Amino acid sequence: MSVNGEGDPGLSGPDSLDLDLSEDSLLPTPRKTGSRSNVLNDDESLASEDDLHNYHHDFLTPGLEPRGDTASVNSVGSSYSGPPVTSSQKYNVPSASILRHVILRAVSSQLQAANEGLTVGTPSAMCVGNLIGVGTTHGVIICFDWSQRQRWKHEADREQGQVTAISLNPDSTRILAGFARGMVLMLDAVDAKVLRVIPTDAHTYSTAVVHIKFTDSPSLALLSDSGGSVFEIGLKRVLGVRSWDCKCVFSGCRGEVVALEPLLLYNLPTHPLAGSVIVAMATLSKMILVSLKPQTRLLFTQSLRANASTLPLLSWQFVVIQVADTSRVMDPVLAIARNDTIYFYQVSLERSGRISCHGLQSVSLSYSLISCHWLTSRTVALVDTNETLHLLDVRSKQELESLDLSMVEIVYNSAAFKGLATGGNVSKAMALAGQRAVYSSVHNFGNQLLLLGGKTVHVISIRLWAERIDSLIRENRYEDGLRLSMDFYEERGKAVLGLRGAKEVRQKLVKEKVVETLEKFVDVIVAGSMHVNYVDAVPVVVEHCIELGQTDLLFDKLWEGLQEDKTKFFDAVESAIIDGKLTEVPPEIMQSLVSYQESSHKWSELETCIQRVDVICLDLEQVMTICKREGLYSALISVWNRAMNDYTSPIHDLIPILRDQIIDGVVSKEGRRLGNLLLVYIASSLSGAIGADKAEFARQQVVRGLCSQHSQNADDDEICFPYIRTLLEFDTREFLNSLVISFSDASLSMQVKQRLVDIIIQVMTEGSSFKSNEVSWVLCTLNSSAVGRGLRVDPELYSQAVERLTNEDDPCLHAERQSAFLQLLTSGSLNDLAHDTLLQLAKSALFHQVCAMLYEMKGEYVEVVRCHLMDPSRRPHIFSYLERAHHSAQISITLPDIFQDILSLDPKKTGHLFVRIMPQNIPAVLSKLTEEQTYYFLKGMLEESDLDTEHMTRYVCLMCRFEPDMVLNVVRTNGNIELDPAIKVSQERGLDEVTAVLLERSGDLQGAFNCLLSRLQSAIQNGEDKAEKMTEELVSLAQRGNNVLDSKTSWLPLLMCLLKLNSHRLLQRVLSNADLNLVSELHLLMQHTNGTLGELRGLIMGLFVKCRDQRRMLEATKRLHMAGLHGELVSAVQAAKVGCRAPSLCFACDAPFKDKLCLFRCGHGYHTECIQGQQLARCIECNKD
């Protein structure tokens, strides 16, 4: 299981590093030493997850002694014989997760034990390599080896304060430790021997060590202090004497460096950058990338502005990056995080030897970070201010998982930042930012993240891909496990760890795992485990088995294992077959599937399955029996064709079934389905679409079958060609159509076509079972389609067909026969027959349309029109026909008999027609008409165009007779009427309104008024309810003629009449006519009536009301008028108040002003004398007021 351990021979050393690794693959973890294995990287050596449970347990019951059975597992190949694994109790953590969280229990308990003596203090800093070094608040350094055993403990001078930074060199042989008061110690990692003591004055005096780091170069280490300066420590050994020197690289006065991270290349010696020392530093405002070797040089800077209370975070990782061409490079990528944003920068060596750095992408998060470390080349582990760990997929920017770390109690390194041990001599910015520094307590090592807690050391790692699947399976979450493994298989998985090698190798690896998962799943299903929902599980398993080609598993293990209910299995297999994913099924299972489908009546599914599955898998006896019984004809045909190379059985066996379905010419629903299927089968086999490589054979077989004179085992009295006959009877048209379609295939030989056509014609003509129109339709199709070209058809057949069609005794409807005849004619089939004969036949059969067509061919258009008139179905459409017809056909309407005919049909439309096509003939025609005909004729003309006065007058006169109700409208809208004859006629007819209109038009208003008044009076007397409308007409007439009419003869009689009616409403209407001087009328009224005042009460009241209204109106108008005047005045006053510049010279004479001047608004001024005699209102210069 070890990923990077020695157990993985191919990848144990840097030399075997395969630069062709996939992007997901990981770098080997840094290790060069001959140490057998690595504490942190060997899963076996870590405390198991059970410990986490124990830990929880401890955690919940504080005060208890830590349990003695410290789990510590020796690594593979190790001879360590310490306490064996004792954890036996199983505890299920929710391990679907990607992350595994374990506690280094042995380390933790030793730390705790040490702390109890009060001489050691609590942990304050940690470094991780092949060893774990932990520094404490009392300046003690404890070193643990890979088996979590304490290797040594070094107690430094307590005066130096706590350990604030600690670092291991790449091969874990040296430890550098920095203290709060500024001292730095170098220890031998083996025996804690102090190799070098670097005093506090080597760097900025009286500052705490914040970071101390080894670089690739064994003679170079880096240090940063709480003053924000960075120093380069040269470690030398001259003649066996160890010495050191310290050089300031970056001074804190130019910005305080708070984060420091050298790029370590020792595990990639082939990388072009190897040998150089590159360091990323970050101040509170800037990220700086410098190279220290081969020469000191600034490479890159980037501004990093963010909230002052957040620290910049740096982390390096090698990532395989696809460059434009297909080659790939493996370059270091620096992740720089601050507050809620992470930036990624690629550092690469250009051909010119320059080191370049360019941004890749950035990720914005919803939380503020305190730590950011790479775990794999695609994932980073982030810790936010709430001490929650987030696992982020860099490429998709997707959070994969989060984990609460509050129980870790992470150690904050704020002491160094605040300079607590040196009297707080740090800048405010440093102290504020360092509040949440965890630089020394969170480290990544390979794919693991180590966290230093107050009492414990925690490891968070990404599980191996296979382990993730296994853990799901352990929890009986088979479906999830399967899904996850399919994700890996299809390369969709995120944070995939431990999967490496070429794509094929990986695929193979994962496939094995998926299959293993699948097998386990099947085992569980077969075992009938409680943990598996059988109903959901079976389809999933079946689907995956098919997808991965594991049919053995499916058809042996699962099939045999499923004891009782196989429904789900069948359903899943069935849908796989229908989807075409599965064609080979063991016959035994297929047999059962078919039986299952049969018993559950899933006929259509059954039919589809039979067609899809390999024919060798089918129990033919079973399948054919079911298909025949249930009429699954498609499946039958499929089996015949595929299994037996039998292309004639569909014809021999199925056409007789079809024949039985046709009863008295009516086809049952079942028969229609079968018939259509057969037509499709015949068409496609004729056009070579059936039988794949045996298409020609299939075609011959089908043709032979179709053309067989008699069916198998036929009775003696069978009529010949039973198959074609049945198909023709089934659906002549569709059969012919399908044949025509297949005839278009060039590979079908002419002989075959001819043979089929001959048989069809023979069948159609000799028997009486086919209707005459069908026969002619067949002839027509054969003749007209391009397919028929080159086919011989006996001309005699056509004349026979025509004779049958024109025979009155034929059972077919007249119309059907006629249309058949027409089709024959238009298709050109009858070109060989004499026109006159045809005409004769058509006439005798009363086929007027045929006659018309024949005449049209001959060009005798008059005859065509006659034929149309004779044809009752065409007669109504004669007008539209004539409009569009040939000119000589149009001429024909002047012929007396035709004219009379169409006139009798519709005189109005005739009028239309004449206006449109021959207006010159109208006068001649009109003289021949009766009065009524004339009227309608004129009406038709009128609709088409305007009439002249003569015709109009005539029309109105006639209208008074035929349609008196319509006259009024016509008279109102048309001005060109001779008045005298019209008035005469309308008076005769008693059309008062018309007369009134005409009289008014002639100027006799009084006459018109009298006419209407008399009508009103009679209406009132008769109690008609039209009185109101009439009154209105009268009032409007009286108003129109106000000047001409004498009020004594107009208004007075009207009012009197209305008074009699005693309708207050009507009176009110009269009174509301504003321009009436009713007072005079009232006087007149008073004189001429002898009634009491009461009778006139309504009238008088009305007058009062009107008077009041008018007064109000007058007042309102006056008000408006005054307001308008006022407004004008106001604006005039305002304008007058505006001052203007007075010129010094007169614009007229250019002489200066002396006493009187005339000034205009435009600023021009004149002597009064100068403009005297001229218009004084306007300026001379610019013509303004």
Residues forming contacts to other proteins in the complex (CB under 8 A) are 552-553, 556-557, 560-561, 587-588, 591, 615-616, 618-625, 639, 643-646
Task: Report the 3 state secondary structure along 965-1011.
Answer: HHHHHHHHHCCCCCHHHHHHHHHHHCCHHHHHHHHHHHCCHHHHHHH
In whole angstroms, the minimum distance from the beta carbon of 608 to other proteins comes to 19
Task: Report the 3 state secondary structure along 738-769.
Answer: HHHHHHCCCCCCHHHHHHHHHHHHHHHHHCCC
| 698 or 845: CB nearest other proteins | 698
Q: What are the backbone dihedrals phi and psi of residue 243, each rounded to the nearest 5 degrees, phi first?
A: -135, 175
Neighbours of 325 (CB within 10 A): 6
| 556 or 1024: CB nearest other proteins | 556
| 618 or 1035: CB nearest other proteins | 618
Q: What is the dihedral of CA 558, 564, 570, 571, to 10 degrees?
A: -110
In whole angstroms, the minimum distance from the beta carbon of 60 to other proteins comes to 46
Token pair listed for 948? 């002249």
Token pair listed for 1126? 């006022």
Q: What are the backbone dihedrals phi and psi of residue 136, each rounded to the nearest 5 degrees, phi first?
A: -120, 175
| 69 or 614: CB nearest other proteins | 614
38 neighbors 4 (Cβ within 8 angstroms): yes
DSSP-assigned states of every residue in 1159-1181: E-TTS-EEETTTTTTS-SSS-TT
In whole angstroms, the minimum distance from the beta carbon of 556 to other proteins comes to 5
| 625 or 1072: CB nearest other proteins | 625
| 644 or 1151: CB nearest other proteins | 644
Q: What are the backbone dihedrals phi and psi of residue 1099, each rounded to the nearest 5 degrees, phi first?
A: -60, -45
| 646 or 1095: CB nearest other proteins | 646
| 327 or 563: CB nearest other proteins | 563
| 483 or 652: CB nearest other proteins | 652
| 274 or 644: CB nearest other proteins | 644
Burial of 874 (0-12, 13-18, 19+ CB in 10 A): middle
In whole angstroms, the minimum distance from the beta carbon of 557 to other proteins comes to 7
Tell me which residue of 663, 655, 614 sits closest to 633, measured CA to CA. Answer: 655
Reduced DSSP (H G I as helix, E B as strand, rest coil) percent helix, strand, coil of the chain, to 5: 50, 15, 35
23 neighbors 32 (Cβ within 8 angstroms): no
In whole angstroms, the minimum distance from the beta carbon of 548 to other proteins comes to 14
Helices (H), 1062-1157: 1064-1071, 1078-1088, 1097-1137
Tell me which residue of 709, 821, 830, 725 sits closest to 770, measured CA to CA. Answer: 725
Q: How far apart are CA 1053 and CA 1048, in angstroms?
A: 7
In whole angstroms, the minimum distance from the beta carbon of 590 to other proteins comes to 8
In whole angstroms, the minimum distance from the beta carbon of 620 to other proteins comes to 3
Tell me which residue of 588, 579, 647, 631 sits closest to 609, measured CA to CA. Answer: 579
In whole angstroms, the minimum distance from the beta carbon of 680 to other proteins comes to 24
The rounded radius of gyration (Å) of the Cα atoms in the chain is: 57
| 205 or 697: CB nearest other proteins | 697
Q: How far apart are CA 442 and CA 453, in angstroms?
A: 9
Distance from the Cα of residue 822 to its chain's centroid: 53
In whole angstroms, the minimum distance from the beta carbon of 486 to other proteins comes to 21
Residues facing residue 187 across a β-bridge: 175, 194
Q: How far apart are CA 1148 and CA 1086, in angstroms?
A: 75
307 neighbors 285 (Cβ within 8 angstroms): no
In whole angstroms, the minimum distance from the beta carbon of 614 to other proteins comes to 10
In whole angstroms, the minimum distance from the beta carbon of 713 to other proteins comes to 14
In whole angstroms, the minimum distance from the beta carbon of 619 to other proteins comes to 4
Number of H helices, E strands in the chain: 43, 32
Neighbours of 197 (CB within 10 A): 13
Token pair listed for 319? 């990532």
| 561 or 688: CB nearest other proteins | 561
In whole angstroms, the minimum distance from the beta carbon of 132 to other proteins comes to 48
| 614 or 944: CB nearest other proteins | 614
In whole angstroms, the minimum distance from the beta carbon of 625 to other proteins comes to 6
355 neighbors 347 (Cβ within 8 angstroms): yes
| 159 or 552: CB nearest other proteins | 552
Task: Report the 3 state secondary structure along 1011-1024.
Answer: HHHHHHHHHHHCCC
